[in-house]
A and B are shown apart, each in its own frame.
Chain A
Amino acid sequence: MSALLDVEDLRVSFPSRSGPVEAVRGVSFTLGRERLGIVGESGSGKSQTGRAILGLTPPPGRTEARRLTFDGKDLRHASAAEWRAIRGKRISMVMQDPKFSLNPVMTVGRQLMEAAARGTAARDARAQALAMLEAVQIREPERVFRAYPHELSGGMGQRAMIAMMLITEPDLLIADEPTSALDVTVQIEVLRILDRLVRERGMGLIFISHDLRLVSSFCDRVLVMYAGKVVEELRASELTKARHPYTQGLFNCLPRIEGDRRPLPVLERDADWAR
């Protein structure tokens, strides 16, 4: 399997008064048309890794990499026009909270049509948008098409977001905590929809989450990040065999239904892991 995405020594840094702060410090991985999970705590650099792949490191942040190729194309020196051709069409991203990631003064339909490939006639774009809304199991696509984001519940909003990001049938989808802003009951439904669409269309997926269990049930492979570095890479099925103490710690602090665990173990940290 030829690699869809090849990342080597990815670094993202932000200037600060006391010199640059590195949020991502040398992340490397390759990805085929598979599902890769990235787990880590807040600030571990997992989201910045996802954004760097799309060239969306917020200014004044800087991205560097020894290699960053997508489908054989070097992304490190891509021009604005080249980026626009890649974003949306070939790589897209579902973000955390539809409350913030959808434009509040534009109807969902217009936002979907905007995502359709450039040059698509309005009528075709509309048809594509409605079909896509149906694909994410929205029962009344016409109504949602006309609705404004604030008129939708979180689950509906996130489905519309997924529809928007998949409308051009990209090769790679980055899902950055796509369900953590949703109610637990809705989470599973949205995940199932995402899972089915990714499987049907044979896309590559990078699933970013802090939820180790969710990631292990959803992905083929898992990268565990800590302080901007990948501390361990595992097959999802072999997560319990994790060797790194941080991964073990993440796993051990999950509560279980059977048996009372008191006190719940605290996540250990070691300055050595960050080196």
Chain B
Amino acid sequence: MTELADQEGRRGALPPLFGRILRLAVQLAVTLFGLLFVTFLIGRVVPIDPVLAAVGDRASASTYHKVYIELGLDKPIWEQFLIYADHVLHGDLGKSVLTGRPVLDDIASVFPATLELSTFAILIGTCIGVPAGVWAAVRQGKLVDQLVRVLGLVGYSAPIFWLGLLGLLFFYADLGWVGGPGRIGIAYQFDVTRITGLMLVDTALEGQWDAFWNAFSHIVLPGSLLGYYSMAYISRMTRSFMLAELGQEYIITARVKGVSEWRIVWGHALRNAAVPLVTVIALSYGYLLQGAVLTETIFAWPGIGMYLTNSLGSADMNAVLGATLVIGATFVMLNLLADLLYTLLDPRVRRGQ
């Protein structure tokens, strides 16, 4: 019986998972609080007078003073932070000077655009990047490996605005294969009912297939470009994780058992390589969700990257802080998701520490 190393480990297969989720939730709360604190500090440190930004520089001294009190700037800094935190927790990110609308509403309208583009891109990056990386690892040093490497290198080093412009010139202007800038053609723009804010999903839900294909033709070029970038990274990482796994002893065991090469690669090695890959993919996705400013600008894609840049340009601090907060929170949530996936993929993590 002494050989049964862990009675507890198996019996408690589920409770540790719960414990882990609980730990992650606490971690999440602490991280989000830290994020809130940092954005608050940024708001106080930047040399932009929030009162002036609100009243304009031709306001009288009394108006200025009134708004100064209204904004609570006379209170001690910790109290200001509590008020800020309270507002944020109630979904109040302040008003945007630039658009004159609540920042939260602005973000709710621009974030889905980024989410849709990023998701499209990460799907392409993963669906092509992972198999390409696996293939390159299996054929290490052969032509395929070199090809994947060169393609990846181009993906890393070619500036996206250049590729984007070339793509528009070639596929849109010359060949007319894809839609031009924007999320959907003008003809359909006002027909789409907003449900999730994701064009492809909304049109599909409503059964507007013409609009769906039009939206698809618009997303396919910027989405593929961004997808190409993540593919470059994901394929390189997949390749190196796979090489590490293929050199492990358990692969020899599988060969000794007479397992087919296909199963060894996709069933044994990739199943193990998937564990660190989850982090790589989640980080790439998080990076995309911050908004690809250059891509969004070239393709007139009204996403959060463009919103943030515009707000920065006009010193619209509420909008900048709000967008930063949302981007930060998205990143934190993605990390949490990656952690949970880890737990599902790796039985060694499941037991908890």
Contact = CB atoms under 8 A, between A and B. Distances in A.
Interface of A: 51, 54, 56, 80, 83-89, 92-93, 95, 97, 100-106, 111, 114-115, 118, 139-140, 143, 146-148, 150-153, 155-156, 161, 164-165, 186
B258 A85 contact: yes
Contact of A84 (B258, B268, B345): B258
B257 A164 contact: yes
Contacts of B3: 152-153, 155-156, 186
Nearest to A164: B257
14 contacts: A54-B256, A84-B259, A92-B256, A100-B250, A101-B252, A102-B253, A103-B254, A103-B271, A105-B271, A105-B347, A139-B1, A151-B347, A156-B3, A156-B5
A84 B258 CA distance: 4
A143 B346 contact: no
Contacts of A118: 258
B51 interface: no
Nearest to A97: B249
B275 interface: yes
Given A140-B4, A150-B348, A80 B258 contact: no
Contact of A103 (B1, B261, B268, B275): B268
Interface residues of B, number: 29
B353 interface: no
Nearest to B1: A139
Nearest to B140: A59
B268 A80 contact: no
A103 B348 CA distance: 12
- Of the listed residues A51, A56, A84, A164, the one surrounded by the most CB atoms of chain B closer than 10 A to its CB is A84
Nearest to B251: A103
The secondary structure that dominates the B interface is helix
Contact of B256 (A88, A139, A150, A186): A88
A87 B256 contact: yes
Contacts of B260: 84
B259 A151 contact: no
A143 to B, nearest CB: 7
Given A103-B268, A148-B347, A114 B261 contact: no
B348 A56 contact: no
Contacts of A148: 347-348
B272 interface: yes
B66 interface: no
B10 interface: yes
A87 B255 contact: yes
B9 A151 contact: yes
A5 B67 CA distance: 94
A153 B5 contact: yes
Contacts of A155: 3
B6 interface: yes
Contact of A104 (B6, B256, B347): B347
A52 B116 CA distance: 53
Contacts of B248: 100
Given A106-B268, A140-B4, A152-B5, A115 B250 contact: no
A62 B297 CA distance: 56
- Nearest 7 pairs of A and B residues by beta carbon: A88-B258, A100-B249, A148-B347, A153-B5, A87-B258, A88-B257, A103-B250
Interface string B196-225: 000000000000000000000000000000
